Chain A
Amino acid sequence: MNEKITLQDVIDELSDKLGVTKKMSDDFLREFFSLIQASLEKDGIAKIKGLGVFKLKLVDERKSVNVQSGEEIVIPAHYKVSFTPDKALSADVNKPYAHLETYILDEADGPVEAPSNMETFDDDDDESMLDLEELDKKSSEQETLAENANVSPSKAVSEETTAAAKATTAPQLQTDAPKEEPKPDAPNASFAASLADVVNQEVPMEQSYAQVNVIVQPAEPLFVAPEPSVTEQQPASASENEPIQPEPIKPAAPIQQSVEGSLNEPLQSVSAAPQSAEPVQPAPTVAPIQATTPISELAASDSKTAQPAEPITVKAKDQNPSVSEDKKEDEGDGDDKKKSAQSNGLRVVIILIALAIIGLLGYQYSSQLKDFFIKTNDKKPMVDTAVVKPALEESETLEQEEVPAVVENEDTVSDYDMSNETAKTEQEITTQSADETNGSNEDLSNKPVMSSKDKFHPNFVKYMKRTYPNANLEVAEILDVVKITKGKRLVDLALEYYGHKYFWVYIYFFNTEVIKNPNNLVSGTRVKIPKLDPSLVDYTNPDVVDMAFELKLNLIENR
């Protein structure tokens, strides 16, 4: 694509194609082009079948103005070469835009409006067609729920952090003296964000480290997972929190302290700066602890197999970019030691929250890691599988026990996508994840399976029955499931599967769940192609084509 091909490339290609010597095709091509030139000189025209027509045109001399100096100059008469490509060639080259048609603008439309081509309808994206609006409202409730769960990466992180921040304030207010103002939230949240980033960076790094780390990772989030899901869910579930929390913390806490101690040493050495930031709230002390927790957890589960030194070095690297923050935190840490008696309770609470955050993040990555693990499963020794299997089982039981855990799972699915394709828009992700939760278990590429969900939009069916009582809307099976790639349009699919572009309306109404705006397909959307009654997609019959066209006009354009 967009390469510059030279004569030599053409020579090579030609000799490969026709099995002639390079010399031969070289001679031929040179002669070919020089003959075109000669023929232009002689006759002023050269027609080459399949390529086009070259013409030599004389341009008369004309007056012009030098743009820089304003002088009048005369452009002398000269020849120019015009080239008109062969009809077949220009049609083939234009294939990507072949479906577009010239569109007559209404007088009322104003100068630049209502373009004919589908991609430019984007303005009225979010509106659904009139007939569908009612239903869309109903579904929008569910969608917003889903969207809450499936936010773009940055949002997801920020939401977690704010959730965490909320969570921190609540216990703080409960357990601590009024000294603890809600202020700590801000640094806490902001750090949590940076921590989230650190953790995000950490995960791929760990992947590249010993496999042991990778295996450990899924285990870590699993025992903490229920925690964040509960806290995120409702404030009322604080009571629920209690029974679950003790489990994760008991194993983590003791190890954590030991690791923390070892980690604090380098940190403090880094922060030799004077404790100028006295007023720093105890809340920032969460930071070092938070930072240590992943290690402690890793170390905890690693201890059998791997050296804890490794993750710690990783950690140290990660913290370097945010040295300034570290300083503050450490000062806060020092501060904290002074009034440690006062804030011990706070610390415990904060540790819980830190665990929750890390657990949430880790849990999100767990699915990714699971996938990663499954891919590399065969390469790994048996011991590893033994480690992960119970973990997986645990996750399943957790999901069964708790509804929020399932919601969480959706989140992880979308997050997994995001980490793969960070450039995606939020909208893309929501639809994709919604789609994936619909068909998470089915093998989409190979075996399209017909399910009860797969049917035309009810309002569309109603409309069809009213207007075209003879139309047979039965769909017996799904021809294919197509993942929309960039630049792919419903029109293309219709042309491919039904033979005529107008039939895209049927694809749209079969996929209203995943296609919000037929004029703006979100890439990654999985579109199901229904097998339609042949009478419905008989492109040789102009009536049928007209019907599809009218459907498009009536249902989609005249909302």
Chain B
Amino acid sequence: MNTKDFASELKNKLDLDDTKTESMLNGVVSVLRDKLLAGNSIAIQGFGTFEVRKKEERISVNPSTKKRMLVPPKLSVAFKPSVVMKEQFNKMEKK
């Protein structure tokens, strides 16, 4: 499901018009984004936690050239699903 489907689904469920849905959707994303950029973690009950994690520098080896490279540290966004949500997924039939 991509953003477009997502928006139309939301629109139907909440009984909103197109522009309203879009502005709300953009608003949510930008709020989450701002929080993450500030280094905060966002915990949504029943869904999961978004947080910024630092990945330390590491040495990686290019398997074909055998060159060893030092990869600098980086910050990335991580998402950890809540236990509740995980359980619900696992109740589903395994494909």
Query: Interface of A with B (CB < 8 Å)?
Result: 1-7, 9-10, 13-14, 17-18, 20, 25, 27-29, 31-37, 39-43, 45-52, 54, 56, 58, 77-81, 83, 85, 89-90, 92-94, 96-97, 100-105, 111-112, 114-117, 120
Determine chain B's interface SS by DSSP, over half rule.
mixed
Question: What's the nearest-Cβ distance from chain B to residue A292, in Å?
Answer: 54
Query: A51 and B9 in contact (CB under 8 A), knowing A33-B46, A104-B67?
Result: no
Please count how many residues in chain B sit with their CB below 8 Å of the partner chain's CB atoms. Answer: 61
CB–CB A93/B40 < 8 A: no
CB–CB A35/B44 < 8 A: no
5 tightest Cβ-Cβ pairs between the two chains A and B:
A100-B72, A83-B79, A50-B29, A39-B1, A85-B77
Task: Point out the residues of chain A lying under 8 angstroms from B5, CB to CB.
Answer: 39
* Bound CA span A41–B42, Å: 22
CB–CB A104/B68 < 8 A: yes
Task: Point out the residues of chain B lying under 8 angstroms from A116, CB to CB.
Answer: 70, 72
* Bound CA span A3–B45, Å: 16
Task: Point out the residues of chain B lying under 8 angstroms from A10, CB to CB.
Answer: 28, 31-32, 35, 42, 44
Identify the closest chain A residue to B29 (Cβ).
Answer: A50
Task: Point out the residues of chain A lying under 8 angstroms from B88, CB to CB.
Answer: 37, 41
Question: What's the nearest-Cβ distance from chain A to residue B90, in Å?
Answer: 5
15 contacts between A and B (CB under 8 A): A3-B40, A5-B40, A28-B24, A33-B44, A33-B47, A36-B47, A37-B88, A52-B77, A79-B94, A81-B81, A93-B77, A97-B74, A100-B73, A102-B69, A104-B69
Task: State which of A1, A20, A104 has its C-beta within 8 Å of the C-beta of B39.
Answer: A1
Extra 13 A-B pairs, beta carbons < 8 Å, given A50-B26, A50-B30: A13-B31, A14-B31, A17-B27, A39-B6, A49-B3, A54-B79, A77-B94, A78-B86, A81-B79, A100-B72, A105-B59, A112-B59, A117-B73
CB–CB B6/A48 < 8 A: yes
Question: What's the nearest-Cβ distance from chain B to residue A77, in Å?
Answer: 5
Task: State which of B1, B9, B39, B94 has its C-beta within 8 Å of the C-beta of A47.
Answer: B1
Task: State which of B3, B32, B67, B89 has its C-beta within 8 Å of the C-beta of A79.
Answer: B89
CB–CB A103/B27 < 8 A: no
CB–CB A28/B77 < 8 A: no
CB–CB B90/A79 < 8 A: yes
* Bound CA span A111–B59, Å: 9
CB–CB A1/B72 < 8 A: no
Task: Point out the residues of chain A lying under 8 angstroms from B74, CB to CB.
Answer: 94, 97, 100
CB–CB B89/A56 < 8 A: yes
CB–CB B29/A41 < 8 A: no
CB–CB B28/A14 < 8 A: yes
